[in-house]
């Protein structure tokens, strides 16, 4: 069957980005928007916008029945969930399967298989993909035994988790009981699943993830890796591809591991396999899989020239994988900065409001994915992502320079943003050298704070 009309069950920049590919493919778009987003750019660019409920996500974007009813009501052939919200909720994928609406993404069973982090770990082990030493712990006693075996530092993670919630670092074994209780409580309230597991914490590790595309019948290709080590409290802020400083052999091994893992699942659609890279030990460990299109997908698009959303749609439409591994060529270097409406001076507090002025950069090798223009409102109910600035150049130094200029050409008035913070990171020697670990940003922030304090005291 041919997909001719897609219901977009998301908002913000990703809604707009999905609409753009649909327009290029001459597919009609129906945006399912909350009351707070009826004035948004995506709402005006979609062929039709349906108001699905009040602003609060629980009353609109998270309502599975309403989303599917909306798709049926407008006779949409398919639903694209974007990222976040319902994108990795098996219930939506399953209801779509039952109602004959195409879910643009993996099967409900695949979402379940990777959504349970312990199951995903087991899948990785079966596929011969290395995992960090660790395992399930049901009681404090078990945790103490396993903790002693692995040795600190340790991470206590939520089985149903993600995004750093329900995750606690333990540096001394005697802290295990309290950390476990805290992680369990956090996980229980955030994911409705209080189970936790234990893993070795890799000091100086880097976050490297591999983009894959699968046809659902066992064919999988990879589109290279992304380095997302610049994180603050597990929130990615800057991503780049290729990951700096990996040998060709290491790169090939990590790509292959991602393909092996997803092949075993006969994974369908676009997905990302995350790894923790320990270059000192020449090792990498499976972290988790994200069964959706990701925020940082444009840097992969920049270096490969492949529109990932168009491939997702083609796969969902039963046209399979249109690319062979040999067709995927990666050229140059791409970097993304996430511009958030948040105030670095106030511990990165969200800063919703009306954007008085929005001037975005443009030019060769610069792409901006944003739903924000002058006059746009940033409602307080959702995440604070305003835009993604993506640059692409032949090499990393040129890409960095391009990003510095792009940031300098960006002007936002009306809300606080992390623009200046990005500019500071982009001019930091350590970041410019490349290959920073996930501990880099906290260290950078501490240094920056000290410098600012010293300045303030004159």
Which CB sits closer to another protein, 21 or 107? 21
Q: Are 108 and 97 in contact (CB under 8 A)?
A: yes
Which CB sits closer to another protein, 142 or 307? 307
Neighbours of 435 (CB within 10 A): 16
Q: How far is the CB of 370 from another protein (least distance, A)?
A: 6
Task: Single out the residue of 274, 262, 291, 261 nearest to residue 111, CA to CA.
Answer: 291
Per the document, the length of the chain is 458
Question: Which residues of the shown chain bind another protein in the complex (CB under 8 A)?
Answer: 17, 20-21, 23-24, 31, 33, 35, 38-41, 43-46, 49-54, 60, 65-66, 68-70, 73-74, 95, 298, 301-302, 307, 309-310, 357-370, 373-376, 387, 390, 392, 405, 408-409, 411
Q: How far is the CB of 65 from another protein (least distance, A)?
A: 4
Q: How far is the CB of 75 from another protein (least distance, A)?
A: 10
Catalytic residue among 17, 121, 268, 292: 292
Q: Is 292 marked active-site?
A: yes
What is the C-alpha to C-alpha distance for residues 413 and 36, in angstroms, rounded to an integer?
21
Q: How far is the CB of 69 from another protein (least distance, A)?
A: 5
What is the C-alpha to C-alpha distance for residues 228 and 295, in angstroms, rounded to an integer?
11
Task: Single out the residue of 396, 360, 347, 355 nearest to residue 375, CA to CA.
Answer: 355
Angle at 283 between CA 117 and CA 438, to 5 degrees: 70
Q: How far is the CB of 252 from another protein (least distance, A)?
A: 26
Buried (b) or exposed (e) across 386-418, using 16+ Cβ within 10 A? bbbbbbbbeebeebbebbeebbeebebebbbbb
Which CB sits closer to another protein, 269 or 304? 304
Which CB sits closer to another protein, 347 or 364? 364
Which CB sits closer to another protein, 263 or 405? 405
- Which H or E element spans position 427? none
Residue 162 per-residue DSSP state: B
Give the active site residues.
292
């Amino acid at each position: 069957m041919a997909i001719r009309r897609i219901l977009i069950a998301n908002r913000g920049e990703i809604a707009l980005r999905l609409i753009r590919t649909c327009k290029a493919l001459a597919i009609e778009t129906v945006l399912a928007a909350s009351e707070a987003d009826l004035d948004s750019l995506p709402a005006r660019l979609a062929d039709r916008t349906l108001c699905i409920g009040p602003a609060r996500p629980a009353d609109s974007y998270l309502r599975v029945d309403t989303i599917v009813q909306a798709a049926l009501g407008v006779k949409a052939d398919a639903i694209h969930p974007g990222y976040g919200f319902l994108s990795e909720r098996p219930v939506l994928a399953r209801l779509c399967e039952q109602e004959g609406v195409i879910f643009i993404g993996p099967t409900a069973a695949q979402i379940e298989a990777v959504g349970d982090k312990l199951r995903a770990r087991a899948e990785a082990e079966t596929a011969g993909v290395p995992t960090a030493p660790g395992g399930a712990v049901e009681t404090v006693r078990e945790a103490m035994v396993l903790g002693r075996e692995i040795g600190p530092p340790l991470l206590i993670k939520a089985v149903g988790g993600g995004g750093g919630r329900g995750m606690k670092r333990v540096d001394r074994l005697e802290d295990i009981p309290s950390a476990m209780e805290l992680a369990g409580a956090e996980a229980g309230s955030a994911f409705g699943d209080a189970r936790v597991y234990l893993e070795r914490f890799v000091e100086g590790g880097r976050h490297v993830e591999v983009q894959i595309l699968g046809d659902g019948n066992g064919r999988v290709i990879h589109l290279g890796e992304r380095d997302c080590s610049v994180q603050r409290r597990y929130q990615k802020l800057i991503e780049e591809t290729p990951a700096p400083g990996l040998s060709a052999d290491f790169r090939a091994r990590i790509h292959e591991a991602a393909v092996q893992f997803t092949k075993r699942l006969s994974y369908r659609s676009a997905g990302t396999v995350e790894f923790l890279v320990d270059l000192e030990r020449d090792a990498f460990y499976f972290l988790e899989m994200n069964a959706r299109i990701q925020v940082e997908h444009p840097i992969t698009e920049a270096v490969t020239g492949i529109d990932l959303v168009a491939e997702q749609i083609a796969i969902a439409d039963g046209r399979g994988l249109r690319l062979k591994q040999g067709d995927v060529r990666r050229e140059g270097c791409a970097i993304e900065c996430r511009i958030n409406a948040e105030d670095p001076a106030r511990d990165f507090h969200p800063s919703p409001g009306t954007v008085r002025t929005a001037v975005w950069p443009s030019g060769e090798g610069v792409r901006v994915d944003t739903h924000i223009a002058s006059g746009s409102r940033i409602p307080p109910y959702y995440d604070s992502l305003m835009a993604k600035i993506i640059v692409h150049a032949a090499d990393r130094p040129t890409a960095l320079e391009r990003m510095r200029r792009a940031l300098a050409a960006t002007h936002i008035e009306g809300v606080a943003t992390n623009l200046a913070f990005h500019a500071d990171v982009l001019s930091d020697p350590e970041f410019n050298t490349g290959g920073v670990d996930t501990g880099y940003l906290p260290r950078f922030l501490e240094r920056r704070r000290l410098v600012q304090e010293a300045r303030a005291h004159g």
